[in-house]
Amino acid sequence: MQRLRMNPAWVLLAPALGTIGVFFFLPVVAALALSFTDFDVYTVGDPARLRFVGLANYRHLLAEPRFWTALGNTTYFVLVGGSLSVVVALGAALLVEARTVRLKALFRTVFLLPVVTTLVAVAVVWRFLYQPRFGLLNALLGHIGLPPIDWLGDPRWAMPALILLAVWKNFGFDTLIFAAGLQSIPPQLDEAARLDGAGAWQRLRRVTLPLLAPTLAFVAVITMIGYFQLFAEPYVMTQGGPADRTLSVALLMYEEGFRWWNLGTGSAIAFVLFAIVLGLTLLELRLRRAASAPGRGGMR
Amino acid sequence: MRRAPVVAAHLVLGGLAGLTLLPFVWMVGASFMASGEATTLPLHVLPRAPTLAQYRALLTRLDLGRCFLNSTAIAAAVTLAAVVLDSMAGYALAKLRFAGRDRVFRLLLAALVIPGQVAMLPLFLLLRALGLVDTYAGVIVPGLASVFGIVLVRQYALGIPDAVLDAARVDGAGELRIYRSVGLALCAPVLVTLALFTFMGAWNDFMWPLIVLADRDRYTLPVALASLAGEHVQDVELMTAGAVLTVLPVVVLFLALQRHYVAGVLAGGVKE
Amino acid sequence: MSAVRSSLAAVLLLAAAACRRESRPALRLWALGREGEVVAQLLPDLERRQPGLRVRVQQIPWSAAHEKLLTAFVGGAMPDVLQVGNTWLPELVALGALEPLDDRLARSLAVRAEDYFPGILAATVIDGVTYGVPWYVDTRLLFYRTDLLAAAGFARPPTTWAGWLAAMPRMQAAAGPGTWAILLPLREWEAPVILGMQWGAALLRDGDRYGDFESPAFRAAFAFYLDLFHRGLAPVGDTAVANIYQDFARGTFSVYLTGPWNLGEFARRLPAALAERWSTTPLPAPDGTAPGTSLAGGSSLVVARTSPRKDDAWALVEYLAEPAQQVRFYRLTGDLPARRSAWEAAGLPADARARAFWLQLQHVRPTPKIPEWERIASAIARYGEAAIRGEMDIDGALEALDRDVDRVLEKRRWLLAQPER
């Protein structure tokens, strides 16, 4: 009887690695290759109609105004939406974790509810909430005396509308992480500061926030990475409109790739998106390393 | 005077909670309204005469019940497969020694950085070559194993004391047997978390099923909902009923297994 | 562990069973929009005539139809019979997705080429080969409120654009404050293209190799189109009108550039009080040569090349092409039959509202028959919207449009330059 030479670890690893290899890594490499060709609808009909074009797809992309529009829109969404999400989440976490607040678990559950609900369902509901004449939002605005806004139809308000939706949907997740970060701060530090006569705002600035810095950096960057892949909201609610104001990079990639079957261009866009996300991730790693470096008083 | 900030904090939190819940309340209320009621002024959130007409229409005329079953079957299959595959791989990466272990782990971490959309176009062509487009398998197969799941299990498995495993090894048991009888049991809590996350992720998945499925009979709920939204732009009450149907299972799961959900977020979140 | 294994097996078995239930051979038909909702009602008769033949209809909304068709083709998931908009035929033919039908047409007793509107059957002929059977015809003209037109002081609808430019502000005034005259949805490309054709523009030049949107003819037409918005006659933005039918009834707009499916929809969805207060009229012309040109559109039924049951598929196509079925279909949807005998059988030439379509169908032009048309059309809509909203001036928009179109057509130019193989 021959002894199995193979390390049993590989038996355990092989199925998962195999699946990920074939259905993820392989397509990613193929996407890179595709981005150097002009694979399109004609090629689908006849594989001979394919040309290797080198970096032409990327060059055309950088010269294409619509790509910059998408990138600008996405950046706008990431910066404004991301900051808003983080600020609201931080505020909520600080309030919930305050010593004197009750029903902490209940609040946490309520805030997490939008996070777990299906994005498409949320987008469908909010599309009605944003309706200029019959939507709840404009009704609320009317109650406080403000004029109605054409949320999804006015080019100035379409992206803010999506941002508001994203903040509502995601802040609970960040609140949870912030709350955990706050819980890990030893209460003695805050007590000591209070006994020294520091006011609430001072304690926040001098004690809490610096200790929270690594968590803050982490949350900020993972929020940005997630927001950069904006797709379902504009797809369901605005189709990139009005006037391309909610066209995101991922939506542009979907259009090029799955609407017009320009796989060459679509793959190029996907890789640009990847490069941006990679850059942000490296940034997060660097920030985290810096924030928890010794000598800065950073705590876990 | 010291009460004021406490009351204020509770008010603010309560207000925030109220705003968070308001869309849900409106959604449920509108789903029980008769057609056209949600767009009649003055706007009201609760139905005047609650009716099940919208739900009946969804389940009979529009066959959403079938999509519900599709979603359930697909999410269950993915969850089962992911839990099995990911736990095996995560355990191996944490507890077994072999050449190239760190390199494999780093490679997997690198995969986490790549957005899923990058792979979608060639993956579609690959599935077409395998004849899996417009099939349940086509939706399930890319999700069979996930890097997030492997990392989650590995993280947890690192905390298993080696003493237990060593004792089994001394007794002469092979590694695979140790995994089956000891490792898996010790990993049970994280497996529940993993199953929860995987199920919810698969249930909520939109972009991939949208691309892969052509036949309406195979649509999952999010895809069916998006398709309905395209046709029935005017039917507010019908769409909200569809939305309720879509979110109900994941909300129930979340409420039932909150602790595990929170644990999972934090494990992935504040790890070093 | 064994529990896990057995549940895994159970799930797989369930999935397999479900899949096996799927593979009973029913013919698959994809129909779009309202037609998709309705065509199922025509099928029981066919199934009775040919026992053993069952047809499954899947309805696909127009908004997602083009991408769904292409995705299905690339993924190898095409149905047997499809309804396809005529402007998409060249694209599907370039992909090799459709079955040529000349042989079957020659042998068919039900489908007689002479009975079709001239030029409509021609729309399904690409490079000399017929790929589809026209199902219904489509063109665009004006639906309008007769009472508001009368209140504006016009006994009969104008036949020139100048006439309408005079009538519309008065119709707007008659409808009240906060209303518009004409609804021209920003997402749609038909209006600027139709106006371009009326002003004599070719849209593309050089054998459809380059865009020709900076030509004086198209520029003049485009300027007229933008003017309708800048004068406040057409609403800017698609959210101004929440529900087309309710808003038409309310007078939010009183003129609508649309197609024959709305004959049925208006009848169904307008409140009873409006039943006699609307009508149709052929398009006006820039000069006095009414009626102005309109789009030759419509949908055809095609058979997928990958269908394993082409004879059954053809039987379905023949059935739906029968004059009796065309009449029934018209009554259900308002879609105008592609066959003249069906028109007469349904009494359409005598129907006041359908008569406008009869007249208009004598003055229609097709869009360029190239695979890239859908993409070019969406670019036209996009730059149209940018110009309407004042984000680009007219020359900037047209120049950008030409640039985009030239880039889209680059591969076509390369293919046409290849030597014949």
The CA distance from C286 to C218, in Å, is 13
Using the beta-carbon criterion (under 8 Å), do B230 and C61 form an inter-chain contact?
yes
The CA distance from C13 to C387, in Å, is 57
Chain C contact set for B214 (CB, 8 A) = 68, 71-72, 75, 77
Summarize pLDDT for B58-111 with one digit per residue, the tens. Answer: 888 778 889 999 999 999 999 999 999 999 999 988 888 888 888 888 888 888
Which among A31, A218, A281 is the nearest to B121, CB-wise? A31
Q: Are residues C119 and C74 in the same domain?
A: yes
**Beta strands in B179-232, from DSSP E residues, in sequence order:** none
A247 close to A66: Cβ distance less than 8 angstroms: yes
Using the beta-carbon criterion (under 8 Å), do C22 and B217 form an inter-chain contact?
yes
At residue C12, the pLDDT reads 59
At residue A226, the pLDDT reads 87
The model's confidence at residue B270, banded by pLDDT at 50, 70 and 90, is very low
Dihedral, CA atoms, A170, A266, A63, A221, nearest 10 degrees?
30
Using the beta-carbon criterion (under 8 Å), do C11 and B76 form an inter-chain contact?
yes
Interface predicted TM-score (ipTM):
0.86
Chain B contact set for A271 (CB, 8 A) = 118
At residue C62, the pLDDT reads 85
C303 close to C99: Cβ distance less than 8 angstroms: yes
Q: B176 CB near a chain C CB, below 8 Å?
A: no
Chain A contact set for C186 (CB, 8 A) = 242
Domain carrying residue C242: 141-295+369-417
Residue C20 lies in a domain: no
pLDDT of B272 > 70? The answer is no
Summarize pLDDT for B132-177 with one digit per residue, the tens. Answer: 999 999 999 988 888 889 988 988 888 888 888 888 888 877 888 8
Using the beta-carbon criterion (under 8 Å), do C15 and B180 form an inter-chain contact?
no
Q: B217 CB near a chain C CB, below 8 Å?
A: yes
Q: Would you call B173 helix, strand, or coil by DSSP? A: coil
B20 close to A111: Cβ distance less than 8 angstroms: yes
Q: Would you call B100 helix, strand, or coil by DSSP? A: coil
**Touching A: which chains, 3+ CB pairs < 8 A?**
B, C
Q: What does each of the 300 residues of chain A score in pLDDT, given as a tens digit?
A: 445 556 778 888 889 999 999 999 999 999 999 999 999 888 887 888 888 998 999 999 999 999 999 999 999 999 999 999 999 999 999 888 877 777 888 899 999 999 999 999 999 899 989 988 888 899 889 889 888 888 988 899 999 999 999 999 999 999 999 988 888 888 888 788 878 877 777 777 878 888 888 888 888 888 888 899 899 889 888 888 888 999 999 999 989 988 888 889 999 999 998 998 888 888 877 877 776 665 444 443
Q: Are residues C243 and C326 in the same domain?
A: no
Chain A contact set for C391 (CB, 8 A) = 243
**Cα separation values, C414 from A44, B9, C370, C375, C407, Å:** 16, 68, 14, 18, 11
Q: Are residues C290 and C203 in the same domain?
A: yes
At residue A83, the pLDDT reads 94
At residue A195, the pLDDT reads 83
At residue B240, the pLDDT reads 92
Summarize pLDDT for A11-39 with one digit per residue, the tens. Answer: 888 899 999 999 999 999 999 999 999 99
Residue C333 lies in a domain: yes
CATH number of A29-291: 1.10.3720.10
Phi and psi at residue B235, in whole multiples of 5°? -90, 80
Q: B182 CB near a chain C CB, below 8 Å?
A: no
Using the beta-carbon criterion (under 8 Å), do B21 and A113 form an inter-chain contact?
yes
Rounded to a whole number of angstroms, the distance between the first and last alpha carbons of chain A is 53
Burial of A99 (0-12, 13-18, 19+ CB in 10 A): exposed
Q: Are residues C268 and C374 in the same domain?
A: yes
Q: Which of A260, A273, A267, A277 is nearest to A32 (CA)?
A: A267
Question: Chain C residues contacting B, CB < 8 Å?
Answer: 1, 4, 7-8, 11-12, 14-15, 18-19, 22, 28, 33, 58-59, 61, 63-64, 68, 71-72, 74-77, 242-243
Using the beta-carbon criterion (under 8 Å), do A244 and C237 form an inter-chain contact?
no
Residue C319 lies in a domain: yes
Chain A contact set for B16 (CB, 8 A) = 92, 111
The CA distance from B6 to A100, in Å, is 6
Dihedral, CA atoms, C3, C6, C9, C14, nearest 10 degrees?
-90
Q: Are residues C150 and C171 in the same domain?
A: yes
Cis ω for the linkage preceding C286 (within 30 of 0): no
What is the mean pLDDT of the segment spanning B41-51? 84
At residue C22, the pLDDT reads 46
Phi and psi at residue C79, in whole multiples of 5°? -80, -170
Q: Are residues C375 and C288 in the same domain?
A: yes
Q: Are residues C176 and C286 in the same domain?
A: yes
Q: Would you call B32 helix, strand, or coil by DSSP? A: coil
At residue C124, the pLDDT reads 87
Averaged pLDDT of chain B: 87
CATH number reported for the structural domain that contains residue C327 in this entry? 3.40.190.10
Burial of C63 (0-12, 13-18, 19+ CB in 10 A): middle
Q: Are residues C203 and C314 in the same domain?
A: no
Which among B180, B212, B230 is the nearest to C63, CB-wise? B230
Nearest chain B residue (CA) to C32 = B231
Per the structure, how many domains does chain C have? 2
**Beta-sheet pairing, C132-138 with C336-337:** antiparallel
The CA distance from A230 to A219, in Å, is 17
Place of tokens 């502000």: C169
Q: Are residues C186 and C255 in the same domain?
A: yes
Q: Would you call B218 helix, strand, or coil by DSSP? A: helix
Looking at the structure, give the CATH architecture of the domain made up of residues B3-269.
Orthogonal Bundle (1.10)
Q: What does each of the 421 residues of chain C score in pLDDT, given as a tens digit?
A: 455 555 555 555 555 545 544 445 789 999 998 888 889 999 999 989 988 889 999 988 888 888 889 888 888 889 999 999 998 999 899 888 999 999 998 888 888 888 887 777 888 888 889 999 999 998 999 999 999 999 999 999 999 999 999 999 999 999 989 899 999 988 889 999 999 999 999 999 998 899 999 999 999 999 999 999 999 999 997 777 777 888 899 899 999 999 988 888 888 888 888 889 999 999 999 887 778 889 888 899 999 999 999 999 999 999 999 999 999 998 888 788 988 889 888 888 888 888 999 888 888 888 898 889 999 999 999 999 999 999 999 999 999 999 999 999 998 998 888 876 5
Summarize pLDDT for B204-252 with one digit per residue, the tens. Answer: 999 899 989 988 889 999 999 988 887 777 788 899 999 999 999 999 9
C331 close to C136: Cβ distance less than 8 angstroms: no
At residue B2, the pLDDT reads 60
List Cβ neighbours of B4 (8 Å cut-off, separation of 6 or more): none
Q: How far is C324 from chain A (nearest CA, A)?
A: 37
Nearest chain B residue (CA) to C64 = B230
At residue C229, the pLDDT reads 95
Using the beta-carbon criterion (under 8 Å), do A134 and B26 form an inter-chain contact?
no
Residue C6 lies in a domain: no
Using the beta-carbon criterion (under 8 Å), do A34 and B111 form an inter-chain contact?
no
Using the beta-carbon criterion (under 8 Å), do B13 and A107 form an inter-chain contact?
yes
